[in-house]
Amino acid sequence: MIVAEAVGRALAACGAGTVFGVVGSGNFHVTNALVAAGARFVAARHEGGAATMADAYARMSGRPGIVTVHQGPGLTNALTGIAEAAKSRTPMVVLAGEATEAQSNFHIDQAALATAVGAVSMRVTSADEAAAQAVRAYRVAAGERRTVLLNLPLDVQSAPYTGAVEVPAASQTSSAEAVAGEQAAVSQASSAAVAAGELAAALEAAERPVFIAGRGARHGRRELEALAERTGALLATSAVARGLFRGSPWDLDVSGGFATPLAAELIRGADLVVGWGCALNMWTTRHGSLVSPGTRVAKVDLEPAALKTHVPADAGVVGDVAQVAAALAGVVPAKAGYRTPELAGRIRAEGRWRAVPYEDGGDGGRIDPRTLTIGLDDLLPAERIVSIDSGNFMGYPSMFLDVPDENGFCFTQAFQSVGLGLATAIGAALARPDRLPVAALGDGGFLMGIAELETVVRLGLPMVIVVYDDEAYGAEVHHFGPHDHPLGTVTFPPAGLAAIARGHGLAAVTVTRREDLADVSTWLSGPRDRPLLIHAKVTRDRGSWWLEEAFKGH
């Protein structure tokens, strides 16, 4: 066995089950070793796609994402996806060959690249330690929620490996480490108890509490709902946790730019906002404006820094959301809080975007994106997993397509990159094969990420890809258009997206009016043996309302 094989085996033994990548000479052996040990390998057509697929897969499956790439350009191609994963604290291991000879064409400073985008850089440095170093990389990713680049220098990779490949139990630490750890835990626990006391007092005093759950709360629905029930809190999420409280009569859906008028009104009316695993950033709070002056703010987060960033907390608890919520539910007195029968009725009647009246802007040649999305919401099965690209269009599917729960919505937007949507949908689809995958993309993002269209077909995914086509980088058109700037750099001639899709082996329909959605019904009631691309020519006379809000931050 060579070192590369030992690394692959060790990672498989850690639990690496689905691996995304593009294979070259520098990651050939490690990838094959993973496959030989039972992992599924998903070949992407571009490393950027592989990284984003792994990120989405990790988010939607709860298992670390694994990526393998060739040295040098394989890694630079993956970098945007790695940056997104790192910013989102996605547990992910990127295995990359590494050319250590400075004369090699493939040579770059890979460690510097990784750290520049917020990933942790590690390296397999010797045959003796190879398996242990691979295990350590996996543990850092899984245990500390980090995106880790594990560099595999070519000379070390090919060295013979003579040791065993065994995964030491996670609990094996030296006794000195254990004692120090316990002491730290005791002092952390007592300061957490004081902080939790402050939060308990704030909850007890609150008449109108609202809980906003973020990425760090996606595992804590049960505990949060129980505490909200006890304290009379209304429930909302950041975009990345969308769907977490689906089915609750007190679910306000997303807080922030995508919030319904009712949700915005009720969050503004809160006297206590608690961010659960949610930093309350500018998107979730509309630049702070959803938190009214005088409203107390509390946060519960694993990261101490999150308590102070964005909208800072008056009361902050460092800890796991589910554990803290469960502990508080045992000590706070029960009260009705914000919950009244009248409000329950309003949430039922006005709590979803599709209940908000609008004037249809469709003109026969182009469909209003709201009408398109509501029509699709009616047609697509409820068991769906929706992935969103970036652009002016992005709010329509985020607001008008309902999702079954927090594993029904995948929002890879921490880096705000255009072009990640299709690969996101592939990773999400593989994590949840029981759900209909839906990719919602702009024409710009679709064409940027189009390398993975063949991957969708090859994997036989029954995916619905909706392209909101305004023949433009609409976000830029609406950003600069009102100021009379020339727009030739951000507008494009019509592109035959349905024909492009058919050429790749997809079924395709073009939608310019509501009636055209009948073709989508036909596909849905068929065998769904080919993915479907919906080329929707959407109205484009004005920018979306959440985009106007977002521009305030540029």
Binding residues vs Mg ion (CB under 5 A) = 442-444, 470, 472, 474
Q: Taking the complex as a whole, how short is the minimal distance between the CB of residue 443 and Mg ion, in angstroms?
A: 4
- Indicate the residue among 14 and 472 with the shorter CB distance to Mg ion: 472
CB within 8 Å of 8: residues ≥ 6 apart: 29, 30, 31, 32, 33, 34, 36, 37
Q: Taking the complex as a whole, how short is the minimal distance between the CB of residue 80 and ligand TPP, in angstroms?
A: 7
Q: Taking the complex as a whole, how short is the minimal distance between the CB of residue 476 and ligand TPP, in angstroms?
A: 6
546 scored as a contact of ligand TPP (CB under 6 A): no
Q: Taking the complex as a whole, how short is the minimal distance between the CB of residue 173 and Mg ion, in angstroms?
A: 52
Rounded Cα distance between 18 and 373, Å, is 32
398 scored as a contact of ligand TPP (CB under 6 A): no
Q: Taking the complex as a whole, how short is the minimal distance between the CB of residue 400 and ligand TPP, in angstroms?
A: 15
Judged by beta carbon distances under 5 to 8 A according to partner kind, the member of ligand TPP, Mg ion, none in contact with residue 72 is: none
Judged by beta carbon distances under 5 to 8 A according to partner kind, the member of Mg ion, ligand TPP, none in contact with residue 475 is: ligand TPP
- Indicate the residue among 133 and 544 with the shorter CB distance to Mg ion: 544
In 347-404, DSSP assigns E strands to 384-388
Q: Which of 97, 232, 474, 531 binds ligand TPP (CB under 6 A)?
A: 474
Tell me the two tokens of residue 70.
């060739």
- Identify the DSSP state of 513: S
393 scored as a contact of ligand TPP (CB under 6 A): yes
Q: Taking the complex as a whole, how short is the minimal distance between the CB of residue 467 and ligand TPP, in angstroms?
A: 8
- Indicate the residue among 291 and 538 with the shorter CB distance to Mg ion: 538
- Indicate the residue among 303 and 548 with the shorter CB distance to ligand TPP: 548
Q: For helices 47-61 and 73-87, give the axis angle rounded to 10 degrees.
A: 30
Listed residue (514, 471, 544, 466) closest to 363, CA to CA: 514
Rounded Cα distance between 425 and 437, Å, is 6
Q: Which of 285, 392, 398, 424 binds ligand TPP (CB under 6 A)?
A: 392
- Is 75 in contact with 147 (CB distance < 8 Å)? no
Which residues inside 277-336 make contact with ligand TPP, applying CB under 6 A?
none
Residue 288 buriedness (CB in 10 A; 0-12 / 13-18 / 19+): middle
Q: Which of 198, 314, 454, 476 binds ligand TPP (CB under 6 A)?
A: 476
419 scored as a contact of ligand TPP (CB under 6 A): yes
416 scored as a contact of ligand TPP (CB under 6 A): yes
What string marks each residue from 351 to 390 as x (binds ligand TPP by CB under 6 A) or -?
Answer: ---------------------------------------x
Rounded Cα distance between 256 and 296, Å, is 18
Q: Which of 91, 445, 449, 462 binds ligand TPP (CB under 6 A)?
A: 445
Judged by beta carbon distances under 5 to 8 A according to partner kind, the member of ligand TPP, Mg ion, none in contact with residue 476 is: ligand TPP
473 scored as a contact of ligand TPP (CB under 6 A): yes
In 106-170, DSSP assigns E strands to 120-123, 147-153
- Indicate the residue among 462 and 474 with the shorter CB distance to Mg ion: 474
- Is 466 in contact with 438 (CB distance < 8 Å)? yes
Q: Taking the complex as a whole, how short is the minimal distance between the CB of residue 466 and Mg ion, in angstroms?
A: 13
444 scored as a contact of ligand TPP (CB under 6 A): yes
Q: Which of 470, 497, 501, 512 binds ligand TPP (CB under 6 A)?
A: 470
3-class SS of residue 24: coil
Q: DSSP per residue over 279-312, as a string?
A: ---HHHHTTTTTS-TT-EEEEEES-GGGGTSSS-
138 scored as a contact of ligand TPP (CB under 6 A): no
Phi and psi, residue 21, nearest 5° = 175, 180
CB within 8 Å of 22: residues ≥ 6 apart: 43, 44, 45, 46, 47, 50, 69, 70, 74, 77
Rounded Cα distance between 216 and 239, Å, is 12
- Indicate the residue among 10 and 547 with the shorter CB distance to Mg ion: 547
Total number of residues that touch ligand TPP (CB under 6 A): 19
Listed residue (270, 251, 267, 157) closest to 208, CA to CA: 270
391 scored as a contact of ligand TPP (CB under 6 A): yes
- Site residues for ligand TPP per CB under 6 A: 390-393, 416-419, 442-445, 468, 470, 472-476
